[in-house]
Amino acid sequence: MVLQSAILATRPWSFTAAALPVAFTAVLQGQPLLSATFARAFGMGIFTQAGANLVNTYVDYKKGLDTKEDSGDRTIVDGVVTPTQTAVLASVFFGLSMFCSLPTLLSSLEFGKIFALGSVLSIVYTAPPLSLKYYALGDFTIAACFGPVIMQACSVMFTGAQEARIYEYSIPIMLMTDAILVAGNSRDIESDPKGGCTTSCSLLGFSKAKALYQACVYGAYAACAGLAYFKSSPGLLLPLVTLPLAVSTCNGFVKGRETMQSADERTAQLHMPFGLLMIVGLALQRYFS
């Protein structure tokens, strides 16, 4: 029961945000997915995200942002886990991330700098002294962490060095991942300011936040098409088969607490096939080229 509660508290439905950029980087660089190095990179990404999710839940609860009346993540307010358990679990997951990264940390100063940046950002995204998401900086932080930061970290793990093209190839992933955040912030557009949290969505208002959401979702498809054309990567056209699902997901972005309750989860459900088809498309391209 405790283990089940711990898993639920990490928001496992959101783990595609970390898993897909790790796998995409491996395929982009021709690295085998069945290897110890990939397993370590995968663990680094998932465990860091799990820790960050728990820190977010803990701080939001402590700041009064999550209450029984208004809460996106209800694991603490519903008594699934206690605040103390949440803080301890967060430390455990960050420790596991470091354990997965240890061989590269010991051999590469370059990796150490990227790993430190990603770890710090994942904590101060919510936690003091910076609390970035409370000052409308969440979008930039999430886009960076689940785009070039994690992908360049993986690049160093896989090849020993960063790679310039990763910045271009990270654009679709950044946009689709940020769409998950925009969906959650749009749901909380009224409750966040009450708890002292200013997000880009609360500044924009629902109508403009919806436009931002659509720009992120459809922009991800446009970025894939652009990479397919300008970078001679036709395999990245494959995610376009999920456009009908994207349209349906965007059409479900309707004002109202109840209608928006699972908006972030629905977006994560779009993120998964979109990202998987990016990976499959690129793999097929490499295989047939």
Which residue reads 């088969």 in tokens? 241
* pLDDT tens figures, 143-192: 999 999 999 999 999 999 999 999 999 999 999 999 999 999 999 898 88
For the stretch 88-126, what's the b/e string if a residue is b when 16 or more beta carbons lie within 10 angstroms of its beta carbon? ebbeebbebbeebbeebbeebebbbebbeebbebbbbbb
pLDDT at res. 45: 97
Q: Is it the case that residue 259 has pLDDT exceeding 90?
A: no
CB 213 within 8 A of CB 186: yes
Give the length of the chain: 289
pLDDT for 239 beyond 90: yes
Does residue 69 or residue 284 have the better pLDDT?
284
Residue range 266-273: mean pLDDT, rounded: 94
The predicted structure's pLDDT at residue 15 = 92
pLDDT tens by residue, 201-214: 999 999 999 999 99
User: Quick one: pLDDT at residue 208?
Assistant: 97
Q: Kindly tell me if the per-residue pLDDT of 68 is higher than 60.
A: no
Q: What's the predicted TM-score (pTM) here?
A: 0.92
- pLDDT at 3 (0 to 100): 59
Neighbours of 27 (CB within 10 A): 20
Q: What does the angle CA 9 – CA 182 – CA 123 come to, to the nearest 5 degrees?
A: 50
What DSSP designation does 289 have? -
- Residue 85 is predicted with a pLDDT of 86
**What pLDDT is attached to residue 190?**
85
Average pLDDT over residues 40-59: 95
pLDDT digits (tens, 9 = 90+) for 96-117: 999 999 999 999 999 999 999 9
Of the pLDDT bands very low, low, confident and very high (cuts 50, 70, 90), residue 83 is: confident
Q: What angle do the packed helices 83-107 and 2-9 form, to 10 degrees?
A: 70
Tell me: pLDDT of 1 over 60. no
Name the phi and psi angles at 220, rounded to 5.
-65, -40
Answer positive or negative: Cα dihedral of 218, 220, 222, 228.
negative
Residue 66 in this model has a pLDDT that exceeds 80: no
The number of angstroms, rounded, from the C-alpha of 204 to the middle of its chain's C-alpha atoms is 22
Please compute the mean of the pLDDT values over residues 247-271 and round it to a whole number.
90
CB atoms inside a 10 Å sphere around CB 147: 22
| Mean of per-residue pLDDT scores for the chain | 91
How many other CB atoms sit within 10 Å of the CB of residue 174?
A: 25
Tokens 């700041």 belong to 63
What pLDDT is attached to residue 73? 60
CATH tag, 2-288: 1.10.600
Domain map of the chain by residue range?
2-288
Q: Hey, is 135 helix, strand or coil?
A: strand
The number of helices, as runs of H, and strands, as runs of E, in the chain is: 14, 0
